[in-house]
Amino acid sequence: MTTIQSAQNFVSVVVPIFNECENIDLLYRELISAMETQDRPFELMLVDDGSRDGTTDQLQRLAALDRRVKVVLFRRNYGQTAAMFAGIQNATGDYIVTIDGDLQNDPRDILMMLDKLDAGYDLVHGWRKNRQDHLVSRKIPSKIANWLISRTTRFPIHDLGCTLKAIRREIAVDLELHGEMHRFIPVLAHQLGARSIEVVTNHRARQFGQTKYGIGRTTRVVLDLLTVKFMLDYFASPMKLFGKLGMYVGASGAAAIVATVAMKIFSGTDMTGNPLLLVGVIAVILSVQFFSLGLIGEVCSRIYYSASGRKPYQIRARLNFDRDAAASETLPLQSPRIAA
């Protein structure tokens, strides 16, 4: 892959933070130490997700001491996805790095990931191959979730839960993050046409504070997985999903009604007492509803794209557009030459 010279690329390091008072100073020192060893200008975008343990005061102190530290303060706790989304939207860098505030991600890995962006990749996501977490409550559920998500989305990846990522700005700002969607960033970026690579990163045991995540969020992740699956395959054309369901259910209902009539004709079975008649009628009604949902979804999809100005595609580059425009302004129009 062709190397892209990017010594002047500005880097924004986005850190969602919630109740990490004991980690703030050490986090700041490690991030500054790592970022100052490379030749790119940078900023630290620290997002306080409604902390209640003194974290806010620590962040305000850092912002007063170092102009490279930018702080976004939430009014209350909205969750890691919202904090990460706010950090990305407020970041000004050409490259955007996301990293956890609990010091389990190693800031020294950022340089290696930025070099991958320089090499031409759009997204570099970390793989905590030697993860330092509790086996039952963290590692086993994570392995199951990663396997399920990878199979469902058809996107091969080992570790979707690793917050440490490096993304080009043009990809990051187009990501729509809601619910627990931050873990699906590689999948969503792949949908936008991003060239991605997964790299092994160092993972460390938590030194201070308590983890904010547990096995209880599995339900939310599964629900978000269903949303992502719909967005990947059917968002631009919902009728492909609901129309297909309508056809299957409608065909089943028609078959049940035909069977009911056949049983009446050939064996004299009472139609009103035959459960197949009820099944057939309900299936036909459901079929109509699925088709209606598909039509409504198609209309909503078109309204979304037209009202927001978004397009169901991504352009990686535009070649010679400025040159052609300049030529049309400076060169006189010439009549075509006709061969004798």
Instruction: For residue range 7-52, list pLDDT tens digits in order.
Output: 578 999 999 999 888 889 999 999 999 999 988 999 999 999 888 8
pLDDT in tens, 264-286: 888 888 887 788 888 999 999 99
Shared-domain flag, residues 169 and 273: no
Q: Is residue 2 part of a domain?
A: no
Which pLDDT score is estimated for 328?
44
Rg (CA), the chain: 27
Which pLDDT band holds residue 236 (cuts at 50, 70, 90)?
Answer: confident
The first and second tokens of residue 218, run together, are 């599995």
Residues 202 and 155 in one domain: yes
216 plus 298 within the same structural domain: no
Average pLDDT, the chain: 81
Answer whether residue 4 is part of any domain.
no
Of 49, 45, 56, the residue nearest 83 (C-alpha): 49
Does residue 334 surpass a pLDDT of 50? no
What's the domain range around 303? 239-308
Mean pLDDT for the stretch of residues 183-190: 86
Judge if 127 and 82 occupy the same domain: yes
68-103 confidence digits (pLDDT tens): 999 999 988 888 888 888 899 899 999 999 999 888
pLDDT at 162 over 80: yes
Residues 216, 272 share a domain? no
3-state secondary structure of 338: coil
What is the number of helices (H) and of strands (E) in the chain? 11, 7
Lowest mean pLDDT among 17-26, 86-95, 222-231, 326-335: 326-335
Predicted TM-score (pTM) of the model is 0.69
138 and 83 in a single domain? The answer is: yes
Q: Is it the case that residue 152 has pLDDT exceeding 80?
A: no
Residue 331 lies in a domain: no
- Residue-by-residue DSSP string for 28-52: HHHHHHHHTTSSS-EEEEEEE-S--
Q: How far is it, in rounded angstroms, from Cα 114 to Cα 300?
A: 39
Q: Do 229 and 272 have their domain in common?
A: no
3-state secondary structure of 203: strand
Shared domain check, 266 and 158:
no
User: Does residue 55 share a domain with residue 149?
Assistant: yes
Contacts 24+ apart (CB under 8 A), 55-63: 55/17, 55/18, 55/19, 55/20, 55/21, 55/24, 58/21, 58/24, 58/25, 59/17, 59/24, 62/24, 62/28
CATH code, domain with 114: 3.90.550.10
Q: Is 279 a domain residue?
A: yes
Distance CA 190, CA 141 (A): 24
Q: What residue has token string 């620590």?
A: 58
The answer to whether position 208 is within a domain reads yes
Q: Dump the DSSP string for 160-202.
A: TT---EEEEHHHHTT----TTGGGGHHHHHHHTT--EEEEE--
Classify residue 330: in a domain, yes or no.
no
- Residue 133 pLDDT: 58
pLDDT band at 216 (very low <50, low <70, confident <90, very high): low
Q: Are residues 183 and 200 in the same domain?
A: yes
End residue of a domain, out of 233, 248, 268: 233
Residues 91 and 200 in one domain: yes
**What is the number of domains present in the chain?**
2
81 & 215 share domain: yes
